[in-house]
Homo-oligomer: A and B are copies of this chain.
């Protein structure tokens, strides 16, 4: 890897060359790289000045490639979406840069499979007052992502995102393990098995289990397309900084407390309705142009 200063410069050049070559009005940058280890914590994250000093000082211990991509995109005035379990989107200095450059920013970590089901199903246990004793999830996958996650250092952030969702929805912390195993023969067909051990009336223990067999790329691709469209729309409206109405797309929606998938989706619906009202009757035909 070159010096960080040079890396950021190269990414910026690549973005602006892409924009010019295709004659684009706006480029939305979306991060799809595999998971990398989280860099060491530092207060320098909290300001734009601090992050710039880490780049200038080539502090590879404190910065990961994903932060450089975010920095380059935002510096170029491009909206930035982090679809992966990589650092940067929730750093105060990065958010500050987005706000200063008046561009939208959001992430992290696309919610495509097991965590999607978990955040859609956990509210049911909460609403019925069925106490979750343990929620144990196993993820088997065989693609390059799976190979990367086979390295324990690479999967730290992903596990944190996957495990964090339950406490918020349930209001307490059940035993919640997440296992990720690399099974090459499965390729892109991610297979997840979850066991939910819960307790009902009179403390009677019961169980639910589910198996999810989904094609990872096929689940991710339409979300990526929709995120680009929605981010472009937000930029056109002059919106900038974090986009909490996109929480439903992510395992770890930056700055959003709500983890219940259905309530997250209501946030998106409310956003859409607000814009439809503001635009008046012309929006629908305008949108189709």
Return A193 CB to nearest CB of chain B, in Å: 5
**Inside 8 A of A185's CB, which chain B residues have their CB?**
133-134, 175, 197, 205
The listed residue (B213, B261, B263) touching A208 by CB distance below 8 A is B213
Bound CA span A219–B204, Å: 9
Asked if B136 and A262 sit within 8 Å, CB to CB, the answer is no
Q: A123-B120, A191-B195 are in contact. Are A213 and B206 (CB under 8 A)?
A: yes
What does DSSP make chain A's interface, helix, strand, loop or mixed?
mixed
Interface range for A: 35 or more
**Inside 8 A of A175's CB, which chain B residues have their CB?**
183-185
Q: A138-B179, A140-B136, A181-B136 are in contact. Are A222 and B261 (CB under 8 A)?
A: no
Stretch among A38-46, A124-132, A158-166 lining the B interface: A124-132
The listed residue (B121, B140, B202) touching A218 by CB distance below 8 A is B202
Within 8 A of B (CB), among A141-192: 175, 177, 179, 181, 183-186, 191
Return A179 CB to nearest CB of chain B, in Å: 6
Asked if B201 and A127 sit within 8 Å, CB to CB, the answer is no
Is A17 in the interface zone, CB < 8 Å from B? no
Asked if B205 and A208 sit within 8 Å, CB to CB, the answer is no
Bound CA span A185–B199, Å: 10
Within 8 A of B (CB), among A212-261: 212-215, 218-219, 221-222, 248, 260-261
Q: A124-B261, A181-B179, A208-B211 are in contact. Are A138 and B202 (CB under 8 A)?
A: no
Return A247 CB to nearest CB of chain B, in Å: 12
Asked if A209 and B208 sit within 8 Å, CB to CB, the answer is no
Bound CA span A222–B263, Å: 25
**Inside 8 A of A129's CB, which chain B residues have their CB?**
222
**Inside 8 A of A124's CB, which chain B residues have their CB?**
116-117, 120, 261
Q: Which residue of B lies closest to A222 (CB)?
A: B201
**Inside 8 A of A248's CB, which chain B residues have their CB?**
127
Q: Which 4 A-B pairs have the closest CB atoms?
A: A133-B185, A262-B262, A120-B124, A210-B210
Measuring CB to CB, which residues of chain A are less than 8 angstroms from any residue of chain B? 116-117, 120-121, 123-124, 127-129, 133-134, 136, 138, 140, 175, 177, 179, 181, 183-186, 191, 193, 195, 197, 200-202, 204-215, 218-219, 221-222, 248, 260-263, 265
8 contacts between A and B (CB under 8 A): A120-B120, A124-B261, A133-B185, A177-B181, A177-B183, A193-B193, A206-B214, A209-B211
